[in-house]
């Protein structure tokens, strides 16, 4: 069925007037009104207005809008509809319906341009009868294209973006929906110039009917979003096979780095990098969630958003929480143009929902003099992400950077008031050949047995352990390694009311961008990890006891012998959300391991191979999924044995997330993406000879 074969959204005729600049020249049976002649009385007979321009707004159009703006706003506020197409999309900001003007106005690159519908809005009335996230492209004409690219609209919902020559172009946010008073406004920035296809005609008909009042908005629309709207977003993008059940994920759209972690007045707060425009990295805001137990999280309104014309107009990037004598504050990186600089915001309520940005932003106006900070194609200086602490009356902070020709660097600054900062020196500089040219998200953690500095170098999270001298503010590393051997990235930590140092990290996706768009969400937080140093000064992990609340059905085994040709002792367990703990005497033990998310016919399965004799663990993903959109390469980490020669493994499976901890000292987080609903089988195997498992516990976890 093509788009025009089905019933239209609204078969009840509505009275629509087309708007024009200058002389009235109606070419069809739609009424045409000159903008210069509009007043409230002239619009009272109409349900909707439609303005299409095949060029950008010029001086004449802007002058006409200035004269007609009050009438248009009143018409919409009283329940009228307004459709703006192509160059006319600019009018929304010009007449005060949208705060942020679109930042990309020009021709369409490529021979064809189509629509890229967001999963969360595929049921919106304007897409009625279209039935796909990627409606067919049409040949591009000479009409102008208007969209938001590096900026994000402040008042609109972004319903769709663009495809160009068959490729997804999600950053070009071009189909917009506003509420203004009792009325509806839609902007379509491209793809309706010639209206040569059934799809184009269908979309136009739907848009006109919708702004005239036909159809009901889904619960996913509306800004700012409160809890109910975020819950509607979650329901709109369930992805039941792969969306984690107990790891935190965004309501929809994109998530990356954890930010501003804190327990404040007994409540845990997780802020995070969030793109409300879709499941891709762009136009970053701060998302916000709260929990009373580190396990169950509730969505809060977006905490921080970019301000056009401000030092964070293209992104509110990663930062940390600071308790400034009882005033909750955050330092974050603001992006504008090719600059990224430190900014400050303070909460105006104890629930940490409302925030006020400092008028002093940016706090540091340029990268330090005398330091050859690495430049890149994107940034005038790679200079971002913050770790702040107080010693006596002085604040110190680390900012991630890179020194050209040397390597990543954690740059040390000091301040007496959190506003005026003075550069000190690099706390540590790496070797670009080992730990990359740029360090993101530096964090210094201090324990009784030493200090741990970790940095993220685009590929991995490297750590350095040693001594930090408060008198000289110097860090002397004595050892280094990796905090995690998988997709765990950009971690941040905080000390809770029980004195635990709790760390969260971003678990990256390992499926392609198109698959993430189709799913409607991207990114997960790791489980909270309690981090400490051993007596020998090496990192170790434990999991908060609060996670035990997830445990439901328990299966327990002692002195279990697993044979290569023997039965699978876990054959009766079927689940895609489990916790597993096992202990093995590793002396002279051959390969053994666990099978996760296996289908009954074995078409899909993931194998965790424990190669104790080689001190290695491998997550074999070669058969994890039949999809060709996912990474099926093996994930590996070295393992150490306890002093008594035993090997212990603690595993959490949460649909697409696998987190592994070996002997509480090595960690590996990875992702798997089965496609089948019956990929729920669990197994335990031995490959070469009998293996005796001293202790095995399996818990099926709540969803």
- Tell me which DSSP letter residue 107 carries: P
Helix count and strand count (H, E) for the chain: 6, 45
Query: What is the Cα–Cα distance from 31 to 702, expressed in whole angstroms?
Result: 59
Angle (CA) 319-321-324 rounded to 5° is 130
Query: What is the Cα–Cα distance from 377 to 375, expressed in whole angstroms?
Result: 7
567: Cα separation from own chain's centroid: 42
Query: What is the Cα–Cα distance from 428 to 231, expressed in whole angstroms?
Result: 43
Residue 293, Cβ neighbours under 10 Å: how many? 11
Q: Which two tokens stand for residue 310?
A: 């401000």
Residue 37, Cβ neighbours under 10 Å: how many? 12
Q: Of these residues, 257, 385, 484, 631, which one is catalytic?
A: 257
Q: Which two tokens stand for residue 266?
A: 């007994």
Query: What is the Cα–Cα distance from 385 to 319, expressed in whole angstroms?
Result: 5
Q: Which stretch of DSSP H or E encloses residue 513?
A: helix 513-519
Q: Any idea how long the chain is?
A: 703
The answer for residues whose C-beta is within 8 angstroms of residue 266's C-beta and 6 or more apart is 292, 497
Q: Which two tokens stand for residue 573?
A: 């367990």
* Class of residue 345 by CB neighbours under 10 A (exposed 0-12, middle 13-18, buried 19+): buried
Q: How far is CA 567 from CA 43, 123, 172, in A?
A: 78, 48, 55
Active site residue 257: yes
Active-site annotation, residues: 257
């Amino acid at each position: 069925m093509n788009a025009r074969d089905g019933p239209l959204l609204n078969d009840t005729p509505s009275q629509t007037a087309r708007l024009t600049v200058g002389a009235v020249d109606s070419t069809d049976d739609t009424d045409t009104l000159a903008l210069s002649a509009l007043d409230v009385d002239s619009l009272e007979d109409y349900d909707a207005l439609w303005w299409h321009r095949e060029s950008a707004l010029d001086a004449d159009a802007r002058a006409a809008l200035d004269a007609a703006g009050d009438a248009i706003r009143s018409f919409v506020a009283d329940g009228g509809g307004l459709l703006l197409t192509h160059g006319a999309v600019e009018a929304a900001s010009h007449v005060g319906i949208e705060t942020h003007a679109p930042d990309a106005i020009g021709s369409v690159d490529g021979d064809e341009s189509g629509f890229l519908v967001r999963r969360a809005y595929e049921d919106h009335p304007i897409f009625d009868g279209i039935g796909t996230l990627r409606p067919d492209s049409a040949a591009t004409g000479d009409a102008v294209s208007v969209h938001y690219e590096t900026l994000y609209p402040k008042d609109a919902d972004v319903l769709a973006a663009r495809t160009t020559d068959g490729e997804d172009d999600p950053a070009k946010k071009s189909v917009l929906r506003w509420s203004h008073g009792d009325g509806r406004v839609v902007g379509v920035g491209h793809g309706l110039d010639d209206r040569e296809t059934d799809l184009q005609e269908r979309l136009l008909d739907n848009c006109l009917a919708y702004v005239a009042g036909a159809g009901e908005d889904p619960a996913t629309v509306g800004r700012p979003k409160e809890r109910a709207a975020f819950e509607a977003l979650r329901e709109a993008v369930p992805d039941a096979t792969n969306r984690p059940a107990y790891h935190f994920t965004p309501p929809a759209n994109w998530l990356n780095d954890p930010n501003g972690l804190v327990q404040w007045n007994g409540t845990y707060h997780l802020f995070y990098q969030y793109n409300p425009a879709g499941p891709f990295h762009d136009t970053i805001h701060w998302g916000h969630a709260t929990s009373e137990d580190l396990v169950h999280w509730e969505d809060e309104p977006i905490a921080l958003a970019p301000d056009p014309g401000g030092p964070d107009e293209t992104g509110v990037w990663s930062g940390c929480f600071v308790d400034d004598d009882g005033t909750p504050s955050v330092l974050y990186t603001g992006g504008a143009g090719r600059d990224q600089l430190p900014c400050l915001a303070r909460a105006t309520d104890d629930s940490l929902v409302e925030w006020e940005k400092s008028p002093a932003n940016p706090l540091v106006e340029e990268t330090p003099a005398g330091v050859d900070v690495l430049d890149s194609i994107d940034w005038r200086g790679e200079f971002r992400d913050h770790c702040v602490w107080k010693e006596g009356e002085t604040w110190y902070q680390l900012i991630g950077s890179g020194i050209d020709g040397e390597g990543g660097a954690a740059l040390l600054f000091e301040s007496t008031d959190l506003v005026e900062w003075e550069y000190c020196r690099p706390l540590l500089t790496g070797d670009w050949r080992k730990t990359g040219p740029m360090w993101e998200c530096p964090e210094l953690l201090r324990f009784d047995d030493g200090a741990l500095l970790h940095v993220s170098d685009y590929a991995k999270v490297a750590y350095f352990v040693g001594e930090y001298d408060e008198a000289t503010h110097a860090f002397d590393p004595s050892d280094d390694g990796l905090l995690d051997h998988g997709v765990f990235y950009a971690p941040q930590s905080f000390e809770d009311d029980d004195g635990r140092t709790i760390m969260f990290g971003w678990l990256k996706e390992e499926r392609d961008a198109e698959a993430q768009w189709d799913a409607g969400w991207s990114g997960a937080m790791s489980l909270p990890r309690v981090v400490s140093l051993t007596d020998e000064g090496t990192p170790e992990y434990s999991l908060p006891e609060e996670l035990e609340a997830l445990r439901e059905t328990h299966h327990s085994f002692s002195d279990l012998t697993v044979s290569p040709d023997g039965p699978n002792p876990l054959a009766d367990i079927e689940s895609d959300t489990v916790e597993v703990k096992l202990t093995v005497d590793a002396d002279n033990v051959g390969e053994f391991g666990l099978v996760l998310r296996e289908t009954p016919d074995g078409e899909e399965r993931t194998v965790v191979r424990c190669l104790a004799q080689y001190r290695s663990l491998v997550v074999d993903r070669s058969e994890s999924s039949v999809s060709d959109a996912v990474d099926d390469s093996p994930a590996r980490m070295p393992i150490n044995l306890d002093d008594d020669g035993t090997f212990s493994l603690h595993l959490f499976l949460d649909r697409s997330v696998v987190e592994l901890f070996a002997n509480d000292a090595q960690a590996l987080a990875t992702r798997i993406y089965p496609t089948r609903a019956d990929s729920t089988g669990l197994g335990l195997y031995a490959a070469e000879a009998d293996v005796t498992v001293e202790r095995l516990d399996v818990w099926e976890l709540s969803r």
